[in-house]
Amino acid sequence: MPHLQPSRRAILAGGLAAAAALPLSARAQGAYPTRPITLIVPFAAGGSTDVVGRLVAQKLSEVLGQQVVVENVVGAGGNVGAARVAKAEPDGYTILMGTVATHALNPLILKRKPYDPVTDFAPVALLAVVPNVLIVNPSLPAKNVQELIALLKADPKKYNYASSGIGTPLHLSGELFKSMAGVQMQHIPYRGSGPALNDVVAGQVPIQFDNLPSASEFIRAGTLRALAVTTKERAPSFPDVPTLAEAGLPNYETYTWNALFAPPGTPRPIVDALNAAARKALADPALVERLKTFSAKVQLSTPEELGEHVKAETAKWTPVVREAGIQAD
């Protein structure tokens, strides 16, 4: 049978001793946290948000002296998990690993909104940003972004591009590319980035927008060609790949981000304690290095900055979503 790791056991024992020493009355805010915290990851286990969530949760457990347990609450593109946290007790024991999908895109795409990304959460801290990448099958004659644009312009009906699903940041990265470059290509949605990669590697679909982490090994092995990354700066793991801005679309910038959110009305001291813990956790060089192996970059913020970030992202994506004409019910 699986046993607790010694370190976790020690933490638990430590927590027990500390908790037992406290009088009952003092157990409210002063000693937060006094019991395990649930970190809701609104996506399936194994995905990039889940991986970031689990790595951060492990470190947070050490920093906070209480276990941070990851619970995957999957459904409706992340909305089920996010809605769960929006309605949870604001006691700091249920927190969310939010993303650009749950806090900017889904609220724009879905007609029936289960929550408001601004008012229904207490922002805690931005954690990491993950670049997206424009990749093509090596058999495609385009060697760079300009050649791709020329190819697409020459035959606007011919080409398809794959993404990990409708309304995902990757789909919208593609739509933004189409509108900024003034080209046409047919979107082919997949169930996640794995199956999409398979068809792009096999040449069924020539072009794809993907997260840099899941595509990175294919780029390194040469089975896919990276034309550009979507962030303002080049990715440290792929210094030779230009940004779309450098490649001729000056204001193009998209990325996937991960941030911690608490339920609305969570007391300020708890939000601050979580923010401080996140900072401490992400100051760990081993964790930073681990995140870097799959191209996620640590980017911390204050709770206020995260609140502003959510608003800015919503403003940025609103026209893209409108232009792409995706509006589900």
Partner 1 sequence: MTDLLSNLGLGFAVALSLQNVALCFLGCLVGTLIGVLPGVGPIATIAMLLPITFGLDPVGALIMLAGIYYGAQYGGSTTAILVNIPGEATSVVTTLDGHQMARQGRGGIALGTAAIASFFAGTVATVLIAALGAPLTRLALIFGPAEYFALMVMGLAFAVVLAHGSVLKAVAMILVGILLSSVGTDLETGQERMTFGFAFLTDGVDFSVLAMGLFGIAEILRNLDQSETRDVVRAQIGRLLPGVAELKQATPATLRGTAIGAILGILPGNGAVLGPFASYTIEKKIARDPSRFGRGAIEGVAGPESANNAGAQTAFIPLLTLGIPPNAVMALMVGAMTIHGIVPGPGVMTKNPNLFWGMIASMWIGNLMLLVINLPLVGLWVRLLKVPYRLMFPAILMFCSVGIYSIGSQPTDVMLIGVFGLMGYLLIKFGFEPAPLLLGFVLGKLMEEYLRRSLTLSRGDLMIFLERPISAVLFVIAFAIIAAALLPSMRKSRDEVFTEA
Partner 2 sequence: MSEPVGGSGARGFVRGPQSFVAGLGLIALALFAIWAGDDLARGTLGAIGPGLMPFWLAIGVGLCGAALCVAGLLRAGAPLQGMPLRGPVVVLLAIVLFAVTIRPFAFGSVTTPGLGLAVAGPLAVLVAGYASPEARLSELLILGLLLTAGCMLLFGDLLNLPIPMLPTALIQALSGTIPSRTLLRIAAGILALFGLGLLLLNRRSAKREPIDVAQHSLTT
Distance separating alpha carbons of residues 235 and 228, to the nearest angstrom: 10
How many Cα atoms occupy the beta-carbon half-sphere of 160 within 13 Å? Answer: 13
Provide the residue type at 159 as one letter. Y
Using CB under 8 A as the binding rule, whether residue 17 contacts partner 1 is answered as: no
Residue 114 binds which of partner 2, partner 1, none (CB < 5-8 A, kind-dependent):
partner 1
78 touches partner 1 (CB under 8 A): no
Containing H/E element for 71?
A: strand 68-72
List residues binding partner 2 (CB under 8 A): 1-2, 12, 15-16, 19-20, 22, 24, 27, 31, 34-36, 38, 69, 71
Q: Can you tell me the distance from the alpha carbon of 117 to that of 100, in angstroms, rounded to the nearest whole number?
A: 10
- Asked if 48 and 128 touch (Cβ cutoff 8 Å), the reply is no
Question: Residue 301 in contact with residue 261, Cβ under 8 Å?
Answer: no
Q: Which two tokens stand for residue 313?
A: 């992202």
Partner interacting with residue 299 (select from partner 1, partner 2, none; CB below 5-8 Å by kind): none
Nearer to partner 2, 22 or 44 (CB): 22
| Nearest distance from C-beta of residue 49 to partner 1, angstroms | 10
Q: Is 2 or 239 the residue whose CB approaches partner 1 more closely?
A: 2
Cα–Cα distance for residue pair 81/86, rounded to 1 Å? 9
- Residue 161 pairs in a beta bridge with 187, 207
Closer residue to partner 2 in complex, CB, 35/158? 35
* Residue 27 touches which member of partner 1, partner 2, none, C-beta under 5-8 Å by kind: partner 2
User: CB of residue 145 vs partner 1: minimum separation in angstroms?
Assistant: 23
> In the complex with partner 2, which residue's Cβ is closer, 36 or 248?
36
Residue with tokens 């927190």: 95
Distances (CA, A) of 180 to 183, 187, 207: 8, 16, 17
Site for partner 1 in 104-143 (CB under 8 A): 109, 112, 114
Q: Which helix (H) or strand (E) holds 266?
A: none
Q: What residues line the site for partner 1 (CB under 8 A)?
A: 1-5, 7, 44-48, 50-51, 54-55, 57-58, 70-76, 80, 109, 112, 114, 157, 160, 165-167, 186, 188-189, 191-192, 194-195, 197-199, 201-202, 204-205, 213, 216-218, 220-221, 223, 290, 293-294, 326, 328-329
